[in-house]
């Protein structure tokens, strides 16, 4: 059975479990070594934050320094955008990359929000039909993310579209995919109340808002 079909099934068997997104192998360094390495850096974190704010033209929300290499990594907001900025010990910006609001397909403008709380962006509007009912079977390509950008599944990566009945998956998919036309591409932003609820389901954490990039390929029946 397809992995996402198991994942998108109704919530009855849900159990809490957090995504394993951390490093559980590396042994933390001795505090005295970190202290010594930080003390050796010519460009200290407070000065780097000030330089980054001026150079990047925005406000630094968070910043950290690598005690080994001395690089400072910061998240900067300005001019309606966000960036990940890396500055070297020479006080010059080494890398600057824009951080999108949502993972996956880029979107602009305002979302559409249904009364249920489901939000979506229509990226491509296809010219095909809409599924005639919530019992229709459809074929899609999808990629699913958590709000922190973690990709938990993708039919695109597997090279195999996913076929499923609209009434056999989570409510956010029944609603969000069910109103698409064939050939459309849509980014779904699904609140946990329309997904896996308070407890979640492995590998989905509790109270997780889910983001899906979905392309409706075909209505099977």
C-alpha to C-alpha distance for 15 and 209, rounded to whole angstroms: 16
Give the pLDDT confidence score for residue 7 in this predicted structure: 53
Q: Is 162 marked active-site?
A: no
Give domain status of residue 7, yes or no.
no
Q: Do 167 and 204 have their domain in common?
A: yes
Q: Do 142 and 209 have their domain in common?
A: yes
Name residue 154's beta-bridge partners: 143
Do 4 and 155 touch, CB atoms closer than 8 A?
yes
Q: Is 192 marked active-site?
A: no
Q: Is 142 marked active-site?
A: yes
Q: Is 5 marked active-site?
A: no
Domain containing residue 159: CATH number? 3.10.50.40
Q: Do 73 and 153 have their domain in common?
A: no
Give the pLDDT confidence score for residue 196 in this predicted structure: 95
Q: Enter the tokens of residue 187.
A: 């980014």
Q: Do 125 and 210 have their domain in common?
A: yes
Note down pLDDT in tens along the chain; length 221 residues.
Answer: 444 544 555 444 333 334 445 567 888 899 999 999 999 999 999 999 999 999 988 999 999 999 999 999 999 999 999 999 999 999 999 999 999 999 999 998 999 999 999 999 999 999 999 999 999 999 999 999 999 999 999 999 999 999 999 999 999 999 999 999 999 999 999 999 999 999 999 889 999 999 999 999 999 98
What is the tens place of the pLDDT at every residue in 88-100?
999 999 999 999 9
Selected catalytic residue, list 121, 142, 145, 162: 142
Q: Do 92 and 189 have their domain in common?
A: no
Q: Do 153 and 70 have their domain in common?
A: no
DSSP states of 52-70 = HHHHHTSEEEEEEE-TTT-
Q: Is 220 marked active-site?
A: no
CA atoms within 13 Å, Cβ hemisphere of 216: 31
Selected catalytic residue, list 196, 204, 211, 213: 196
Q: Which domain holds residue 86?
A: 31-98
DSSP states of 82-147 = EEEEEE-TTSSEEEEEE--SSSSS---SPPEE-TTS-EEEEEE--SSPPPSSTT-EEEEEEEEEET
Point out the domain boundary residue: 98, 133, 157.
Answer: 98
C-alpha to C-alpha distance for 102 and 147, rounded to whole angstroms: 7
Q: Do 84 and 112 have their domain in common?
A: no
Give the pLDDT confidence score for residue 26 in this predicted structure: 85
Q: Is 196 marked active-site?
A: yes
């Amino acid at each position: 059975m397809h992995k996402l079909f198991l994942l998108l099934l109704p919530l009855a068997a849900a159990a809490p479990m957090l995504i394993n997104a951390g490093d559980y192998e590396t042994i933390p360094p001795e505090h005295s070594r970190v202290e010594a390495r930080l003390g050796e850096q010519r460009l200290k974190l407070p000065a780097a934050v000030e330089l980054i704010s001026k150079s990047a033209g925005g406000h630094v929300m968070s910043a950290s320094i690598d005690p080994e290499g001395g690089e400072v990594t910061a998240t900067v907001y300005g001019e309606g955008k966000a960036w990940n900025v890396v500055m070297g010990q020479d006080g010059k910006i080494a890398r600057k990359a824009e951080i999108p609001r949502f993972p996956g397909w880029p979107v602009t403008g305002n979302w559409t929000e249904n009364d249920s709380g489901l939000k979506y962006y229509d990226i491509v509007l296809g010219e095909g039909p809409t599924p005639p009912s919530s019992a229709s079977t459809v074929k899609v390509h999808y990629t699913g993310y958590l709000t922190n950008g973690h990709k938990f599944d993708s039919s695109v990566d597997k090279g195999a579209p996913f076929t499923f009945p609209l009434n056999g998956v989570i409510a956010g998919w029944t609603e969000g995919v069910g109103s698409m036309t064939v050939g459309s591409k849509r980014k779904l932003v699904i609140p946990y109340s329309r997904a896996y609820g308070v407890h979640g389901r492995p590998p989905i954490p509790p109270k997780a808002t889910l983001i899906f990039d979905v392309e409706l390929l075909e209505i099977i029946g």
